[in-house]
Each structure stands twice: as C-alpha cells, then as structure tokens.
Amino acid sequence: MSDRFFCEEPVTGDSALLSGAEAHHLLHVMRAKAGDAITLFDGSGAEFDAEVATASRSSVEARVLARREVDRERPRPLVLAVALPKGDRQKVLVEKLTELGVSRLIPLVTERTVAKLSGGALDKLRRGVIEASKQCGRNVLMTIDEPMSFADAIGAAPENANRLVAHPGEAEADAGPDAAELWRLVGPEGGFTDAEVAAAEAAGWSRASLGRAILRTETAAIALAAREP
C-alpha cells in the first residue's frame, strides 16, 4: 500500500486537493514529486489510487486514477462514552479506539470527571483520529463529540441499542445479537457514583464487568472496544 493521505473535501472527480498538514507532510517530509503514487481517503468509506500532479508551497493537487469501496468497519456501530483521562493518555485512547473500529467517542462529563476539554484540545484529538486512520487503513473517521453530561449520554442511546455500563465486580454481559448499535459507558478515575449507576439502570442500561482488577479509564475503554464483535 502506498502512503495514505486524508482529503478534507469529498473526492468526486478526477482530481483532489491536499492542503494544511497533509500537504506539508507530503511535500516536506515525504519529499513527493510529480508522478509519485499515493492513496487518498475522504472519510466516505472509499479510498482512491492517485498520483501527485502539481504542488505549490502549501497545497498538492493529485490526479485520481481509481476509486475503491473498502469496508473496514464493524458490522454494528460501537459508541463509547468515556470520562477522558488527563494528558497524553487521551491521545493514546483516541489512537487505539480508532484502530479498534469505534464509530463514535463521546467525552463524558461525570461527577468525578477531572479532565476538561477546550476547543483546541478537541481539535488535536480529532487530528489524532486522522493520523490513526491513515496508519490502520480505516476509510471512515471515528467521530468525537463535544463533551456531554452523564444524564444526556444515557438518554442519547437508542432504545434498541445494547447499552452497558462498565462497573467493577459485575457479571459479564452479552453484547446482544439483535442490537442495532452497541453503546458503552466508561467512568473516570474513581468510577461512577452510585447515583450515576442507578440513573443508568433506570434508563435501561445494564452493568458489565471487565474483570476483577481496577482498570485505568483508557484501559477499560480499550478493553471494551477490543472484546466487542
């Protein structure tokens, strides 16, 4: 596979424009020149065989040679609402959830949430999704929502979704073969409060265990994503 690059605009014709970080990487890191083969994706699910046509200081025009529909997504959408950890652990979390095929990440605000997300931090995490998708071959980007309150998150899941709350000491729970979507809640350091767990159960969520040990937030989220079909 040739090097993969993300197009912010949908690729609809026989040419595509790369700008910003993607153009910079192609021009100044890869030292690309006219005729070099590249692979493009635009988040639509397709990927495109292309070659460098022309370049300026800050953009690259690519000639699109072929389009391929390549499905590397899960059979059912997996949505994780996670009380994000602090610092670099957020970056690791986003990278691994992208690689594991999570469809949507909701930064969860709970009573014990410590990490606060600014607009700039969200932008960096979303850029991390692109970088991880380039590496792992996904052609659909995992979306990252604006931060959502616990109450809003438990109410956002469709009633026909399989809904589980990660909670230490509980029995293993089935993903539900007939569920259209899989929704999972992962708490902060210290876990969910008893009131939050009770509210989730009242809204139709079930508890699920990830084993006997107490896991870090990012470990729990990655473990949940890895075990789902």
DSSP collapsed to 3 states, 2-28: CCEEECCCCCCCCEEEEEHHHHHHHHH
Residues above pLDDT 70, as percent of the chain: 95
Domains of the chain: 4-69 (2.40.240.20), 78-226 (3.40.1280.10)
Question: Predicted confidence band at 1 (pLDDT cuts at 50, 70, 90)?
Answer: very low
H-run or E-run covering 58: none
Strands 15-19 and 59-69 come out as antiparallel
Q: Which of 38, 32, 31 is nearest to 4 (CA)?
A: 38
Residue type (1 letter), 223 = A
Angle at which helix 217-227 crosses helix 88-99, to 10 degrees, equals 0
Q: The tokens of 177 are what?
A: 């073969």
Q: Is 189 exposed, middle or buried (0-12, 13-18, 19+ CB in 10 A)?
A: middle
Q: How far apart are alpha carbons 130 and 56 in whole angstroms?
A: 23
Q: How far apart are alpha carbons 147 and 116 in whole angstroms?
A: 9
pLDDT for res 57? 85
pLDDT for res 176? 66
* pTM confidence score: 0.93
Question: Of residues 103 and 58, which shows the higher confidence score?
Answer: 103
pLDDT for res 212? 84
pLDDT for res 171? 60
The H helix count followed by the E strand count for the chain is: 6, 12
Report, as an integer, the average pLDDT of 126-147.
97
Burial 38-73 (b: 16+ CB within 10 A, else e): bbbbbbbebbbbbebeebeeebbbbbbeeeeeeeee
Report, as an integer, the average pLDDT of 104-129.
93
Q: How far apart are alpha carbons 83 and 147 in whole angstroms?
A: 9
Residues above pLDDT 90, as percent of the chain: 83
What is the per-residue pLDDT across 81-103, written as a single tens digit (0 to 9) for each?
A: 999 999 999 999 999 999 999 99
